[in-house]
Amino acid sequence: MLQQFKEGLKKFHIQYQHHYIWLILLLATANRFTGLMKRDFWYDEAFTGVAVKEKFWDMITMTINDVHPPFYYIVLKAFAFFFNYSVFGIRLFSAIFGVAAIWALYLLAKEMFNEKVALYAALVATISPFAIQYSQEARMYMMLVFFILIGAYFFVKSLQLKRKKYFFLWGLFTGLSMLTHYMGIIFSAVYILVFVAWRIFEIDWSGVDGVFEKAKFSLKKFLPTKEILLGYGVAFLVFLPWLKMFVHHISMKGSNLSWVKKASLGDIVVNIQMFLFGTPLGEMSSGMPQPNELFGIAHISIRMLIAMLFGIGIVYLMRKEKKEKVVSLLLFSTGFMFIIYVLSATLSDQQYFVARYLLPAAYFIFIFIGLWLSRLRSFGEPLSGGGCSSGLMSFLKIGDRAAGAIKSGGTTRR
């Protein structure tokens, strides 16, 4: 009887597994659309609300003074018009992109690995308190995440299929991410690193003899292809109308970032902790808040555990998965954060290491977690029967507990 039940459950899973993503998106919609009116605008959200109510060119002038590109405000202004520029309507825009980001994450993870990994990653992102929080704020961060994820999807697809149309679409969405937030410009540098890493593991050295020949062969492989240049060219053309204002903003030398404290290398692990368990609303501690407490466990203990598991996970996955894909995932996540850290450490007047600016990296961390969860049963079958399900349920409980820790906060500068 029990065996028949298991076989029936397995058949059900095989038949309907392609529909699981819709259940996840439904859950994402519920926890992002609920509570949009629970708290007042904080400072930056208030700026958004005021800006989109202005006449178009007055709004553009405000964005110039706020050192942000205009695309988010332009699209939001058109959307919020139908809601009379209410708090609900303005935040709903971010919530929609929050759900769309889950869909883009699913597509990317499925393209890089498989549907099982994609479903796990999408579910982890769906219950992440940090992702939920910024899906409910009237700022451009979820729009940025969506454009980066869908751009990365087309980039990975282009690397695998070598088709120009995918390089073009990658360039288009990369350009839109740059017009949404300047983090899109910095993230665009990661693609060339991923391209090089991908090529390194693709190299077939058979038939290549001699040091000179190998060096020549390697250089040819690592140089950007016409397709890569096409994608970057498209991104540049999309961003070109705003280029003059970008140069103007750079010349301001971080005057609007004086509230950001200097970053340390350990903040990368702190950010991963925040991505998983969220932060208290309304408290940002000069841009780098403390994550939500988890069952009263000391933060340092959680960070040590995260660093250890992350390291073990990398070593394990490098042995089990295609190396170019694991390395690409690391470059998209921790590589991006490391670039931001280096910029912040070397440019004293340009401090960019702010948790919400790094939100795109969180979604690649979610793919890493999804990949790890999908392989839990490989560790000597420690979780018999529903191995991966049991592991995921444990994570769900932790995520729900962390989400419950988020309370309505004040309007402290964030």
For residues 300-309, give the mean pLDDT. Answer: 86
Query: Which band of pLDDT confidence, cut at 50, 70 and 90, is reported for residue 35?
Result: confident
The 10s digit of each residue's pLDDT in 134-189 is: 999 999 999 999 999 999 999 999 999 989 999 999 999 999 999 999 999 999 99
The C-alpha atoms of residue 69 and residue 407 are separated, in whole angstroms, by 31
How many other CB atoms are found less than 10 A from the CB of residue 295?
A: 9
pLDDT surpassing 50 at residue 279: yes
Global pTM?
A: 0.84
Q: What is the pLDDT of residue 411?
A: 37
Separation CA 150–CA 170 (nearest Å): 8
Segment 235-258 mean pLDDT: 82
**Other beta carbons within 10 Å of 333:** 26
pLDDT, position 207 = 60
Query: Could you give the CA distance from residue 261 to residue 356 in angstroms, rounded to a whole number?
Result: 14
User: Does position 81 have pLDDT exceeding 90, yes or no?
Assistant: yes
In this predicted structure, the answer to whether residue 1 has a pLDDT above a threshold of 50 is yes
- Residues in Cβ contact with 86 at an 8 Å cutoff, skipping those fewer than 6 apart: 80
Report the pLDDT value the prediction gives residue 343, as an integer from 0 to 100.
Answer: 85
Residue 29's pLDDT band, with cuts at 50, 70 and 90, is very high
Asked if residue 361 has pLDDT above 50, the reply is yes
Can you tell me the distance from the alpha carbon of 360 to that of 145, in angstroms, rounded to the nearest whole number? 5
